[in-house]
Amino acid sequence: MAKYILGIDEGTTGARAFVIDDQCTVLGLAASELTQHYPRPGWIEHDPMEILSVQLEVIRAALRQAKLQPSDLTAVALTNQRETGIVWEKDTGRPIYNAVVWASRQTVDVVERWVDKGHGDMIEQRTGLIPDAYYTASKIRFILDAVPGAQERAERGELLAGTVDTWLIWNLTGRKSFVTEYSNASRTMMFNLETREWDDDLLAVYDIPKRMLAEIVPSDTIVGDIGATFGADVPIASNLGDQQAGLFGQAAFAPGQSKMTYGTAGVLNINCGEQPQRIAGLTPSMAWGVQGKVAYEIEGVLFAMGKTMQWLRDDLKLIHAAPDSEWYAGQVPSTDGVYLIPAFTGLSAPDWDPYARAAIIGMSNATTRLHIIRAAVESMVFQTRDVVEAALTGSDNIRIPELRVDGGAVKNNFLCQLQADVLGIPVVRPQIAEATVFGTMLMAGLSTGVFSTLDEVAGMWREDRRFEPNMSRDQADSMYAGWRAARELTKGWARNVPSAG
Ligand code: ADP
């Protein structure tokens, strides 16, 4: 008899739910948007009750589409936006404040305070993370400060805090399971990368009572069931942060296996095996705990990937739709030395310069919009080489034999081919474009016996197209050298030219 897995994908912009069978055929898919609240410039919040209600709604819709009842399911799988923090009342389940979203900058001064007091090194050493407002710790601190009496209530054990996975699981299980897992926990800035526990010294620095925090378990733990919400005791059998779920969905189970996601932003994830690796400019995290083993990963975040296409479309009006970029870029044999550095909000990995600003450089009278569009597509390729090179030069033992790719922009064949050319390794696009939710569904299938081994799971990953490098190394290196020179020029711009904003 066929077995069915429900995949819950709680993202920043909205909620989705998938139902697949044991051959990975999609039987149901539903999506709905989530309201974004911007209480002040740079602040982003979500209503946790809406996160829950929208998620429940899409789960029901996906089941209806698949013509299945909850009791037909074998497993529930979860993946979610990472780092976002929620604090709620243990007794009533009511959030005391909105969810503070990962991208929100409202806690920059909270983090500055910790760094000014000299805790920056300890934070980085224990968690692997360079102290930043992205991570959950400062969001929880912010909420406890913003709501009168919250700190005292937290100390009395009346409040719970967690990332979105913890919030959803607590609610889906009828408030029975209060848990998180390695990949989500390692993005909170409260998690010790070596002991794989909450770090007591850091919690003391943050003044966050440990009793507010969930139990940390391996990612494939059966943490409870959805009986209380869906009337059928289907186990929640996997839980992974979105990027790690994507790495799992690309079947990157061995050290060195990597994936690059070309979405609005870009994220390179490299499986590093059972020990954390520290590489300048890149972020170490946990990939997962599965089948009694743990894996670590290294991550390189690029702020502007597909975002640059949106800018060409919405602001410069050079293209009508992002996919048009493929055709335009192919109309000229090269950019003739034009580079577009998309440092709109500064440079991300591996340079991390918040003062850098975007630039188009190298134009002549012969430059047309075709060159600029091509330079924009090329910027995705060169940024990827930046993070791949940082990983290779910063580590003795990482080898990257090929790059598996996903995200909205990988339909662009020009992009994939040029990526293979510039890196000098094959770029491989899978048939399944939704690596993230498939990753967690495959893990849930593994923990409930739908699949028996990691090898069998790897067999579910199928290639759509393989792009072999087809450019001389000299040519690739000289194109890339131009990019590096151009990128240097953007550094520190907003500091040197204050009107740059
Ligand atoms: P998100 O990160 O929001 O989940 P997606 O993975 O859906 O994003 O990818 C959407 C991004 O990819 C958008 O920024 C869009 O501009 C870009 N994009 C989509 N199709 C193409 C394409 N064919 N070529 C280049 N960029 C594309």
Tell me if 257 is assigned to some domain.
Answer: no
Asked if 211 and 334 sit in the same domain, the reply is: no
Look at residues 279, 281, 258 and name the one whose alpha carbon lies nearest to residue 427.
258
| Cβ–Cβ < 8 Å for 442, 22 | no
- What count of other Cβ atoms lies within 10 Å of the Cβ of residue 209? 17
Protein residue with least CA distance to atom 21, ligand 1: 409
| Cα(313) to centroid(ligand 1), Å | 12
Cβ of 330 less than 6 Å from ligand 1:
no
CA–CA gap between residue 295 and residue 289 (Å, rounded): 6
Question: Is residue 285 one of the residues assigned to a domain?
Answer: no
Give every CB contact of residue 67 below 8 A, 6+ residues apart in sequence. 27
* Residue 230 main-chain phi, psi, to 5 deg: -125, 5
Ligand 1, atom 25: closest residue by C-alpha? 409
Residue 102's contacts (CB-CB under 8 Å, 6 or more residues apart) are 12, 81, 82, 83, 84, 134
Q: For residue 11, which atom of ligand 1 is closest to its CA?
A: 4
User: Is the Cβ atom of 449 under 6 angstroms away from ligand 1?
Assistant: no
User: Are 271 and 252 in contact, with CB atoms under 8 Å apart?
Assistant: yes
- Cα(96) to ligand 1 centroid in Å equals 35
Mind listing the pLDDT tens digit for each residue in 15-56?
A: 999 999 988 889 999 999 999 899 988 899 999 999 999 999
Q: Which atom of ligand 1 is nearest to 307's Cα?
A: 14
Question: Residue 328 falls within a domain, yes or no?
Answer: yes
312 lines ligand 1 (CB under 6 A): no
Same domain, 215 and 309: no
Cβ neighbours for 313, distance < 8 A, ≥ 6 positions apart: 319, 320, 321, 322
Tell me, in angstroms, the distance from the centre of ligand 1 to residue 383's CA: 16
Which segments within 135-227 are labelled E, that is strand? 159-162, 179-181, 215-217, 224-225
**14 Cβ below 6 A of ligand 1:** no
Pocket lining: 408 vs ligand 1, CB cutoff 6 Å: yes
Which of 12, 301, 309, 373 should be mutated for ligand 1, with most atoms under 8 A from CB? 309
Pocket lining: 306 vs ligand 1, CB cutoff 6 Å: yes
What is the C-alpha separation between 265 and 309, in angstroms, rounded?
A: 11
The DSSP-derived string for 407-440 is SGGGG-HHHHHHHHHHHTS-EEEES-S-HHHHHH
Q: Which of 242, 259, 264 to mutate to test the pocket of ligand 1 (most atoms within 8 A of CB)?
A: 264
Would you say the C-alpha torsion 473, 479, 482, 487 has a positive or negative sign? negative
Q: What is the pLDDT along the chain (501 residues), one digit of tens a residue?
A: 789 999 999 998 899 999 999 888 899 999 999 998 999 888 999 999 999 999 999 999 999 999 999 999 999 999 999 999 999 999 999 999 999 999 888 999 999 999 999 999 999 999 999 999 999 999 999 999 999 999 999 999 999 999 999 999 999 999 999 999 999 999 999 999 999 999 999 999 999 999 999 999 999 999 999 999 999 999 999 999 999 999 999 999 999 999 999 998 999 999 999 999 999 999 999 999 999 999 999 999 999 999 999 999 999 999 999 999 999 999 999 999 999 999 998 899 999 998 899 999 999 999 999 999 999 999 999 999 999 999 999 988 889 999 999 998 999 999 999 999 999 999 999 998 788 999 999 999 999 999 999 999 999 899 999 999 999 999 999 999 999 999 999 999 988 887 876
State the closest ligand 1 atom to the C-alpha of 407, by its place in the atom list counted from 1.
6
Ligand 1 atom with the smallest distance to the CA of 411 is 23
pLDDT tens track for 308-345: 999 999 999 999 999 999 999 999 999 999 999 999 98
Whether ligand 1 lies within 6 angstroms of the CB of 264 is answered as yes
Q: Do 210 and 80 share a structural domain?
A: yes
Q: What backbone phi and psi angles, to 5 degrees, belong to 500?
A: -70, -15
Say if residues 62 and 43 touch (Cβ distance below 8 Å).
no
Distance 65 CA to ligand 1 centre (A): 26
Task: Output the furthest CA–CA distance in the chain (Å, rounded).
Answer: 70
Residue 337: left (phi > 0), alpha (psi -120 to 50), or beta? left
126: Cβ below 6 Å to ligand 1?
no
Give the model's pLDDT for residue 498: 79
| Residue 349 pLDDT | 93
Which ligand 1 atom sits closest to the C-alpha of 326?
A: 24
Count CB-CB contacts under 10 A for residue 398.
Answer: 20
CA of 264 to the centre of ligand 1 (A): 6
234, 256, 289 — which closes off a domain? 234
The answer to whether residue 293 is domain-embedded is no
Ligand 1 atom with minimal separation from the 310 CA: 16
Terminal Cα-to-Cα distance of the chain (whole angstroms): 61
**39 phi/psi in degrees, rounded to 5:** -60, -30
* 193 and 324 belong to one structural domain: no
Say yes or no: 311 and 445 in one domain.
yes
Query: Are 27 and 166 in a shared domain?
Result: yes
The verdict on 34 and 181 lying in the same domain is yes
**Within-domain flag for 244:** no
**Within a domain: residue 501?**
no
Instruction: Measure the CA–CA gap between 303 and 314, rounded to whole angstroms.
Output: 18
Same-domain check for residues 135 and 12: yes
Q: Return the residue whose CA atom lies nearest to atom 8 of ligand 1.
A: 263
Which secondary-structure segment (H or E) carries 144? helix 136-146
Q: Is residue 9 part of a domain?
A: yes
Q: Is the beta carbon of 374 within 6 A of some atom in ligand 1? A: no
Q: How far apart are alpha carbons 322 and 436 in whole angstroms?
A: 22
Domain end marker among 234, 262, 280: 234
**Residue 254 domain-assigned (yes or no):** no
> What's the CA gap between 100 and 146, in Å, rounded?
12
pTM of the model: 0.93
Q: How far is CA 256 from the centre of its chain?
A: 18
The parent domain of residue 324 ranges over 305-496
* Pocket of ligand 1 contains residue 263 by CB under 6 Å: yes
Q: Which of 210, 234, 258 is the last residue before a domain boundary?
A: 234
pLDDT of amino acid 264: 87
- Report CA(145)–ligand 1 centroid distance (Å): 37
The answer, yes or no, to whether any atom of ligand 1 lies below 6 A from the CB of 407, is yes
Does 55 share its domain with 185?
yes
Tens-digit pLDDT profile for residues 179-231: 999 999 999 999 999 999 999 999 999 999 999 999 999 999 999 999 999 99
For ligand 1, whether the C-beta of 242 sits within 6 Å is no
CATH classification at residue 162: 3.30.420.40
Give the pLDDT confidence score for residue 444 in this predicted structure. Answer: 96
- Phi and psi at residue 420, in whole multiples of 5°? -60, -40
Say how many residues make up the chain: 501
Please give the tally of structural domains in the chain. Answer: 2
